[in-house]
Chain A
Amino acid sequence: MTEKIYRVNMTTLTASAEDVPQEWKTLGGRALTSTVVAKEVKPGCHPLGKYNKLVFAPGMLSGTACANSGRLSAGGKSPLTGTIKESNAGGTSSQCLARLGVKAIIIEGLPQKDAFYSMHLDKNGITIAEETELIGKGNYEVITAVRKRRGDKVGVLSIGPAGEMKMPLANISVRDPEGNMRSHGRGGLGALMGSKKIKYISIDDAGAPGVAIAEPEKFKEASRVFAKCLLDHPVTGQGLKTYGTNILVNILHEAGGLPTENFRTGRFDGHDKISGETMHDTIVERSGKPSHGCHAGCIIQCSQVYNDKKGAYLTSGFEYETIWGFGADCCIEDLDLIAQADHLMDDIGIDSIETAVTVSIAMEAGIIAFGDGPGTLRLIKEIGSGSHLGRLLGAGTAAVGKAYGLSRVPVVKGQAIPAYDPRSVKGMGITYATSTMGADHTAGYSTATNILKVGGFVDPLKKEGQVELSRNLQIATALIDSTGLCLFVAFAVLDKPEAFTAIVDMVNAKYGTSITGDDGIALGKSVLKLERGFNMEAGFNSTHDRLPEFFEELCPPHNTVWDFTDKEIDSFWDF
Chain B
Amino acid sequence: MNITVKLFASFRTGRFGEKNFDCPEACRISYVLQELGISESEVGVLLVNGRHGDVDYSLAPDDTLSIFPLIGGG
Contact with B along A256-285 (1 / 0, CB 8 A): 100000000000000010001100000000
User: Could you tell me if B51 and A461 are in contact, using CB atoms closer than 8 angstroms?
Assistant: yes
In the complex, number of A-B residue pairs with CB atoms less than 8 Å apart:
88
Q: Are B12 and A254 in contact (CB under 8 A)?
A: no
A244 pairs with B70, CB closer than 8 A: no
- Chain B residues 10-64 with CB under 8 Å of chain A are 10, 12, 17, 44-45, 47, 50-52
Question: Known: A234-B44, A452-B44. Is A240-B10 also a contact (CB below 8 A)?
Answer: no
Contacts of A239 in B (CB 8 A): 9, 69-72
How many A residues touch the partner, as a band? Answer: 35 or more
Contact pick for B73, options A256, A302, A461, CB 8 Å: A302
Nearest residue, chain B, Cβ from A248: B73
Chain A interface, >50% SS class? helix
Which residue from A238, A255, A445, A448 sits with its C-beta under 8 Å from B47?
A255
Are A251 and B68 touching (Cβ within 8 A)? yes
Q: CB distance A453 to B73 under 8 Å?
A: no
Contacts of A226 in B (CB 8 A): none
Per the bound structure, the CA–CA distance linking A22 and B6 in Å amounts to 57
Q: How far is the CA of A88 from the CA of B6 in the complex (A)?
A: 36
Please tell me which one of the listed residues B47, B68, B70, B74 contacts residue A320 in the complex, with CB atoms under 8 A apart.
B74
Interchain CB contact (< 8 A) of A487 among B8, B71, B74: B74
**Cβ-defined partner of B66 (8 Å) among A254, A442, A452, A457:** A254
Contact across chains for A251 and B52 when beta carbons are under 8 A apart:
no
Q: Does A304 contact B (CB under 8 A)?
A: no
- Which chain A positions have C-beta within 8 A of B8? 247, 250-251, 254, 277
Does B44 lie within 8 Å of A453, measured CB to CB?
yes
Contact of B12 among A235, A236, A277, A448 (CB under 8 A): A277
A557 to B17, CA, bound (A): 21
Cα–Cα distance between A243 and B10 once the two chains are bound (Å): 9
Nearest CB to that of B70 among chain A residues? A234
A238 to B70, CA, bound (A): 10
Residues of A contacting B47 in the complex (Cβ-Cβ under 8 angstroms): 251, 254-255
Whether the Cβ atoms of A452 and B70 lie closer than 8 Å is: yes
Q: Which of A234, A255, A447 contacts B50 (CB 8 A)?
A: A255
What residues make up the interface of B, taking CB atoms closer than 8 Å to A?
6, 8-10, 12, 17, 44-45, 47, 50-52, 66, 68-74
Residues of A whose CB lies within 8 Å of any CB of B are 234-236, 238-240, 242-248, 250-251, 254-256, 272, 276-277, 302, 320, 441-442, 445, 447-448, 451-454, 457, 459-461, 487-488, 491, 557-558
Top 7 closest A-B pairs, CB basis?
Answer: A245-B73, A235-B72, A234-B70, A248-B73, A254-B66, A491-B72, A256-B50
